[in-house]
């Protein structure tokens, strides 16, 4: 039975089915693929009637070649089919994939005994093609191939056709090529396709390293392959991978990184686009140029800065380009004798950098002609002059009464790169007088039983002309319980009347117009012993000396009496107690300059001309009106004195039609002002009395009065700046109190502010205008001078019984402190003067302004001590403020306060509790304006009546927003009113 046609039909159908699935992995390299050949394959069959080559088509009608054999009826079949010579290529191990169909012997009748269901696969290696020569014995068997699935007659009928695929490995192969041979021993088999291939690890890129095509070895070991970096990249760790025998890449190690200016994109290093840069190697993306920088090129490593912007050496490329800072702002100077504290605000523009530092340049200046030279080495800067990180510096050891200009320069990391001008703010100051430094060298010239002669050297820094020296001495044993003081104009003195053989301790201090300097250290001297013999000549000399001394003393006493009498005529009949008494009752030392009340002059005009310079009206040019004074307009203008530079001045005029008393009162301010010389007291330039209008000319203060200035600049200053202003005011007040002058009307409205934020005490008028408004600053309570009392600013004892002292000025200073810290808020808001008097008397005090440092609020409370002896002296106030300025951290702790609208007065007796007294503000704070009216309507006109209001009362008038704090305050006040005020 010839079954060939039917076999062919079978395998063709099968072939079509299998061809659709014929996809090879990419790591397989074909050495032979029978399907690829469209013509005759030309393989050799032995014997020739064995394997038969048959043509067919696949599903695409592409011709293919197949082989078949089916001599199942005959015994002893040995049919060979040999391929052509196949070059080995680089293969070490080859794979043979066979696709075939095989008929089940059971399905063929009559073939039992002869029919086989397997065939054999052989191979032969050779370096060259042997052509058609075929020797069976040369071949080595690879394997016997059996079908996984064979087909039967029934299958045929049902058209269930099975294609077998078998793969066999052969290796290692070493020769240049090889043959394959298929041996049939009596099966019915159709060889549909033969594919011979080897495996390789294909070219790949891993971690930016390229790995070439690699053929694995025949053994089981992996092949280690070094990768090479892709273009524009560098090895970080040597890249490696292993090629497995299956042609798979395993275990990638190491990597390459893209060069600067290149980024990883699609497994390659690609150039950064314009507008982007990459400054470091690594597989980061290119970054966009930071602010104020650009690049127009591809592959940029960094971006260039825009015009006027710079990059400091250490700045990372990712940082924006920056520029030098603007100048510091709001420089204020606080002068303390020969040192000055400079304080300024941070520049408006830091140039985009945080490394802003400040340098302070000191220049000593002469006004006429304006010449400045760098300060000499003795000037000290604390903490230093250059590279300051904070906005404050103290400059010490300046010369007294000298003009200095300080330039505060701001710098940052790019200032040196910018060719721009220095950015600085300048402030000009004049140092004050300073007391002389202590005497350090004292020499004993002569010693006797009862006397010692001494001489000494002038202090190292006299800081002015030394008026005299005070020599204080006492017996060492007495421990300073009793001592003697001598004054000497020169630098030597003889101490007489001493005990023989006794040790004395002695201290000397020098005095200038600025007062006494510090005392020298204690020097020890001993008189000669009693037994010390004196010659008769010496005793005569001593006798003469004693008689002469007695004569001189007598003469001095007579002279003193005569001079005192003469001077006495000049003074009024009422000796001015202020000249002898310090504000708080301390005795003033004779010799220190004191204030002279112009009213003690019989002719006040004489006082004016004694203390004020008469100016020629032609030297004054009035520019404009800047304010309204009590006696006439206040103008700004210029004063040009011969051989002096023109200066800006304020000119107070006396309106025409004045009475003689008004003229006298007007000019009395000049008589007072003219006696003062201090940087925080408004300086009098002179008066015009010999022509009309009568004028008082003072230095010009550009920022006007402090209260309106602060209101205009609400919350715009640093605490240090505010404290600097307050320190200036306190320093001016210390000077006034040292002079024995009591201001009586210290208030922010009477402080003037210049362009450098220096505050100066002004308004030395002695009478007050009567105002129609009963709630104006001054009440109808008449002061000692016939003026009105500014109730809200005045100490209780001054209101009650007109006890005006420096201590009552200290109370007012506390109110100014409150005004400053609350940026010009009205003290006690809209409370009536009567309520203020009552509340203060009951022990209530203003609460801390918003964000007020606790230390400043404490100072306010100290100034508002009921007992005036407990209030701080101005000297102490200055020193407290100096300490706060030197240690700004201490200003960070703020006093507890309610939010600004809830202005509640504090009970001084119960400082921890917040109580209230300002009904209106409190009501405003609760946003209950109608209630405020309602309350007024039901008679809550004062604090204590309000205190009696119960929560029910609040509800009655519709107040529902009564917070716990307010309720507790009400309760506190209720308790307080029940128990009565506790004396402060």
Crossing angle between the packed helical segments 806-821 and 854-863, to the nearest 10 degrees = 150
User: Site for ligand AMP (CB under 6 A): which residue of 705, 865, 898, 969?
Assistant: 705
Comparing CB distances to ligand AMP, the nearer of 307 and 624 is 624
| Residue 300 beta carbon to ligand AMP: minimum distance, rounded to whole angstroms | 59
Number of CB atoms found within 10 A of residue 443's CB: 12
Number of CB atoms found within 10 A of residue 500's CB: 14
Comparing CB distances to ligand AMP, the nearer of 633 and 797 is 633
User: Site for ligand AMP (CB under 6 A): which residue of 650, 723, 799, 817?
Assistant: 650
Tokens representing residue 497 in the block: 């009347």
CB 777 within 8 A of CB 819: no
Tokens representing residue 270 in the block: 């690609």
Comparing CB distances to ligand AMP, the nearer of 406 and 631 is 631
Which range touches ligand AMP (CB under 6 A), out of 60-68, 700-708, 768-776, 865-873? 700-708
Q: How many residues bind ligand AMP (CB under 6 A)?
A: 15
Number of CB atoms found within 10 A of residue 133's CB: 9
Residue count of the chain:
984
Judged by CB under 6 A, does residue 653 bind ligand AMP?
no
Which range touches ligand AMP (CB under 6 A), out of 120-128, 509-517, 524-532, 622-630? 622-630
Comparing CB distances to ligand AMP, the nearer of 512 and 689 is 689
Q: Which of residues 315-344 bind ligand AMP (CB under 6 A)?
A: none
Catalytic site residue from 745, 882, 907, 921: 745
Judged by CB under 6 A, does residue 701 bind ligand AMP?
yes
Tokens representing residue 285 in the block: 């993306």
CB 774 within 8 A of CB 780: yes
Q: Which of residues 231-290 bind ligand AMP (CB under 6 A)?
A: none
| Residue 623 beta carbon to ligand AMP: minimum distance, rounded to whole angstroms | 12
CB 945 within 8 A of CB 939: yes
Using CA atoms, how far apart are residues 740 and 684, in angstroms rounded to an integer? 19
Strands (E), 569-674: 620-628, 633-639, 647-653
Comparing CB distances to ligand AMP, the nearer of 682 and 850 is 682
Per-residue three-class SS string for 390-430: CCEEEEECCCCCCEEEEEEEEECCCCCCCCCCCCEEEEEEE
Which range touches ligand AMP (CB under 6 A), out of 338-346, 496-504, 695-703, 782-790? 695-703
| Residue 950 beta carbon to ligand AMP: minimum distance, rounded to whole angstroms | 46
Question: Counting beta carbons within 10 angstroms of the beta carbon of residue 783, is it exposed (0 to 12), middle (13 to 18) or buried (19 or more)?
Answer: buried
| Residue 625 beta carbon to ligand AMP: minimum distance, rounded to whole angstroms | 9
User: Site for ligand AMP (CB under 6 A): which residue of 634, 695, 719, 970?
Assistant: 634
Tokens representing residue 679 in the block: 């940087």
**DSSP state, 250?**
E
Using CA atoms, how far apart are residues 710 and 762, in angstroms rounded to an integer? 17
Comparing CB distances to ligand AMP, the nearer of 748 and 914 is 748
Which range touches ligand AMP (CB under 6 A), out of 176-184, 621-629, 724-732, 819-827? 621-629
202: helix, coil or strand? coil
User: Site for ligand AMP (CB under 6 A): which residue of 762, 767, 783, 897?
Assistant: 762
Sequence-ordered alpha helix ranges (H) in 479-590: 536-570
CA nearest neighbour of 837 among 872, 887, 789, 898: 789
| Residue 690 beta carbon to ligand AMP: minimum distance, rounded to whole angstroms | 22
Comparing CB distances to ligand AMP, the nearer of 47 and 627 is 627
Which range touches ligand AMP (CB under 6 A), out of 114-122, 518-526, 694-702, 935-943? 694-702
- DSSP codes of every residue in 822-847: TTSPPTTTT--HHHHHHHHHTTEEPP
Using CA atoms, how far apart are residues 61 and 250, in angstroms rounded to an integer? 41
Using CA atoms, how far apart are residues 334 and 758, in angstroms rounded to an integer? 8
| Residue 404 beta carbon to ligand AMP: minimum distance, rounded to whole angstroms | 23
Judged by CB under 6 A, does residue 767 bind ligand AMP?
no
Judged by CB under 6 A, does residue 763 bind ligand AMP?
yes
Judged by CB under 6 A, does residue 626 bind ligand AMP?
yes
Tokens representing residue 16 in the block: 């079509």
Specify the DSSP element, H or E, that contains 862: helix 854-863
User: Site for ligand AMP (CB under 6 A): which residue of 347, 351, 629, 790?
Assistant: 629
Which range touches ligand AMP (CB under 6 A), out of 219-227, 553-561, 693-701, 801-809? 693-701
Comparing CB distances to ligand AMP, the nearer of 505 and 615 is 615
Judged by CB under 6 A, does residue 627 bind ligand AMP?
yes
| Residue 561 beta carbon to ligand AMP: minimum distance, rounded to whole angstroms | 43
Residue whose Cβ sits closest to ligand AMP: 627
CB 128 within 8 A of CB 114: no
CB 664 within 8 A of CB 608: no
The 496-525 contact track toward ligand AMP, x by CB under 6 A, reads ------------------------------
Residues sharing a CB contact under 8 Å with residue 120, sequence separation 6 or more, in sequence order: 141, 143, 144, 145, 182, 183, 185
Using CA atoms, how far apart are residues 709 and 627, in angstroms rounded to an integer? 14
User: Site for ligand AMP (CB under 6 A): which residue of 51, 80, 151, 700?
Assistant: 700
Judged by CB under 6 A, does residue 790 bind ligand AMP?
no
Comparing CB distances to ligand AMP, the nearer of 628 and 893 is 628
Comparing CB distances to ligand AMP, the nearer of 425 and 706 is 706
Using CA atoms, how far apart are residues 94 and 172, in angstroms rounded to an integer? 8
| Residue 762 beta carbon to ligand AMP: minimum distance, rounded to whole angstroms | 6
The 719-758 contact track toward ligand AMP, x by CB under 6 A, reads ---------------------------------x------
Comparing CB distances to ligand AMP, the nearer of 528 and 705 is 705
- DSSP codes of every residue in 119-188: EEEEEEEESS--TT---GGG-EEEEEEE-SS-B-HHHHHHT----EEEEEEE----SSEEEEEEEESSBE
Residues sharing a CB contact under 8 Å with residue 136, sequence separation 6 or more, in sequence order: 46, 80
CA nearest neighbour of 66 among 186, 193, 179: 193
SS3 content of the chain, % helix, strand, coil (to 5): 25, 30, 45
| Residue 812 beta carbon to ligand AMP: minimum distance, rounded to whole angstroms | 16
Residue 875, CB half-sphere, CA atoms under 13 Å: how many? 6
Active site residue 953: no
| Residue 663 beta carbon to ligand AMP: minimum distance, rounded to whole angstroms | 16
Comparing CB distances to ligand AMP, the nearer of 393 and 650 is 650
Which range touches ligand AMP (CB under 6 A), out of 184-192, 408-416, 696-704, 919-927? 696-704
| Residue 378 beta carbon to ligand AMP: minimum distance, rounded to whole angstroms | 35
Comparing CB distances to ligand AMP, the nearer of 631 and 864 is 631
Measure the CA dihedral 934/935/941/944, to 10°: 180
Judged by CB under 6 A, does residue 698 bind ligand AMP?
yes
Q: Which of residues 661-690 bind ligand AMP (CB under 6 A)?
A: 682
Judged by CB under 6 A, does residue 874 bind ligand AMP?
no
- DSSP codes of every residue in 258-308: EPTTEEEETTEEEEPPTTEE--S-SSPPPEEPPTTEE--SSSBSS-EEPTT
Which range touches ligand AMP (CB under 6 A), out of 398-406, 450-458, 624-632, 637-645? 624-632
Which residues of this chain interact with ligand AMP, rule CB under 6 A? 626-627, 629-630, 634, 650, 682, 698, 700-701, 704-705, 752, 762-763
Active-site residue list: 745
């Amino acid at each position: 039975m010839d079954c060939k046609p039917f076999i062919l039909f079978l395998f063709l159908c099968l072939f079509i089915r299998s061809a659709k699935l014929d996809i090879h992995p990419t790591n397989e390299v074909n050495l032979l693929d029978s399907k690829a050949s469209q013509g005759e394959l030309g393989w050799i069959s032995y014997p020739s009637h064995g394997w038969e080559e048959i043509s067919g088509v696949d599903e695409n009608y592409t011709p293919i070649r197949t082989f078949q054999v089916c001599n199942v009826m005959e015994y002893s079949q040995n049919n060979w089919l040999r391929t052509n010579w196949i070059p080995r290529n680089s293969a070490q191990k080859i794979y043979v994939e066979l696709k075939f169909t095989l008929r089940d012997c059971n399905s063929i009748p009559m073939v039992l005994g002869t029919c086989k269901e397997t065939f054999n696969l052989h191979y032969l290696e050779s370096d060259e093609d042997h052509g058609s020569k075929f020797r069976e014995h040369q071949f080595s068997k690879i394997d016997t191939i059996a079908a996984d699935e064979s087909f039967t007659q029934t299958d045929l009928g049902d058209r269930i056709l099975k294609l077998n695929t078998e793969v066999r490995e052969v290796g290692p192969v070493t020769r240049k090529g090889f043959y394959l041979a298929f041996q049939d021993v009596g099966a019915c088999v159709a060889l549909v396709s033969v594919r011979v291939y080897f495996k390789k690890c294909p070219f790949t890129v891993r971690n930016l390293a390229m790995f070439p095509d690699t053929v694995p070895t025949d053994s089981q070991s992996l092949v280690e392959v070094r990768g090479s970096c892709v273009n524009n990249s560098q090895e970080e760790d040597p890249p490696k991978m292993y090629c497995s025998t299956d042609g798979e890449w395993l275990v990638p190690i190491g990597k390459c990184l893209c060069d600067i200016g290149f980024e990883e994109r699609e497994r390659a290093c690609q150039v950064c686009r314009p507008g982007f840069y990459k400054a470091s190697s690594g597989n980061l993306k290119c970054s966009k140029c930071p602010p104020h920088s650009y690049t127009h090129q591809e592959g940029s490593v960094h971006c260039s800065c825009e015009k006027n912007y710079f990059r400091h050496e250490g700045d990372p490329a990712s940082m924006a380009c920056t520029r030098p800072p603007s100048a510091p702002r709001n420089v204020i100077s606080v002068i303390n004798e020969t040192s000055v504290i400079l304080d300024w605000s941070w520049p408006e523009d830091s140039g985009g950098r945080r490394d802003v530092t400040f340098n302070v340049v000191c220049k000593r200046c002469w006004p006429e002609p304006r010449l400045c030279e760098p300060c000499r080495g003795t000037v000290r800067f604390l903490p230093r002059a250059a590279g300051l990180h904070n906005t404050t510096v103290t400059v010490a050891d300046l010369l007294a009464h000298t003009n200095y200009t300080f330039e505060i320069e701001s710098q940052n990391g790019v200032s040196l790169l910018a060719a721009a001008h220095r950015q600085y703010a300048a402030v000009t100051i004049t140092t004050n007088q300073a007391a002389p430094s202590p005497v350090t060298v004292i020499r004993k010239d002569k010693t006797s039983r009862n006397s010692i002669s001494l001489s000494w050297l002038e202090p190292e820094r006299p800081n002015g002309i030394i008026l005299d020296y005070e020599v204080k001495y006492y017996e060492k044993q007495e421990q300073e319980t009793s001592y003697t003081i001598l004054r000497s104009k020169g630098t030597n003195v003889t101490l007489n009347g001493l005990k023989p053989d006794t040790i004395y301790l002695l201290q000397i201090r020098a005095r200038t117009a600025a007062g006494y300097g510090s005392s020298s250290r204690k020097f020890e001297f001993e008189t000669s012993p009693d037994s010390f013999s004196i010659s008769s000549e010496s005793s005569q000399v001593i006798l003469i000396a004693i008689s002469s001394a007695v004569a001189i003393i007598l003469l001095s006493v007579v002279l003193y009496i005569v001079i005192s009498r003469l001077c006495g005529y000049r003074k009024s009949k009422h000796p001015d107690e202020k000249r002898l008494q310090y504000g708080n009752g301390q005795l003033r030392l004779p010799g220190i300059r004191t204030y002279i009340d112009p009213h003690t002059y019989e002719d006040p005009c004489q006082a004016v001309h004694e203390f004020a310079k008469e100016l020629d009206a032609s030297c004054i040019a009035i520019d404009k009106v800047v304010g309204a004074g009590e006696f006439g307009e206040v103008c700004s203008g210029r004063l040009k004195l011969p051989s002096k530079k023109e200066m800006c001045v304020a000119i107070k005029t006396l309106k025409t039609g004045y009475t003689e008393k008004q003229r006298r009162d007007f000019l009395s301010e000049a008589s007072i002002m003219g006696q003062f010389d201090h940087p925080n007291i408004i300086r009098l330039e002179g008066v015009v009395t010999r022509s009309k209008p009568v004028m008082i000319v003072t230095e010009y203060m550009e920022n006007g009065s402090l209260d309106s200035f602060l209101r205009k600049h609400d919350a715009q200053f640093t605490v240090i700046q505010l404290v600097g202003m307050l320190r200036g005011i306190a320093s001016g007040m210390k000077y006034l109190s040292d002079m024995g002058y009591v201001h009586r009307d210290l208030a922010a409205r009477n402080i003037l502010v210049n362009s450098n934020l220096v505050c100066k005490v002004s308004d030395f008028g002695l009478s007050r205008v009567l105002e129609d408004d009963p709630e104006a600053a001054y009440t109808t309570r008449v002061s000692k001078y016939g003026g009105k009392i500014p109730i809200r600013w005045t100490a209780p004892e001054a209101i009650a019984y007109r006890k005006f002292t420096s201590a009552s000025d200290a109370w007012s200073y506390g109110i100014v402190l409150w005004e400053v810290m609350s940026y010009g808020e009205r003290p006690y808001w809209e409370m009536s003067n009567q309520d203020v008097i009552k509340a203060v008397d009951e022990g209530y005090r203003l609460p801390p302004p918003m964000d007020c440092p606790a230390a400043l609020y404490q100072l306010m409370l100290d100034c508002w001590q009921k007992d005036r002896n407990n209030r701080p002296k101005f000297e102490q106030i200055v020193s407290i403020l100096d300490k706060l300025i030197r240690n700004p951290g201490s200003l960070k702790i703020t006093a507890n306060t309610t939010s600004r609208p809830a202005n509640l007065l504090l009970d001084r007796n119960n400082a921890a509790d917040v109580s209230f007294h300002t009904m209106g503000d409190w009501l405003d704070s609760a946003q209950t304006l109608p209630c405020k009216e309602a309350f007024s309507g039901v008679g809550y006109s004062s604090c204590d009546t309000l205190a009696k209001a119960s929560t029910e009362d609040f509800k009655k008038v519709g107040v529902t927003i009564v917070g716990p704090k307010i309720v507790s305050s009400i309760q506190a006040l209720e308790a307080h009113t029940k128990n009565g005020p506790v004396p402060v």
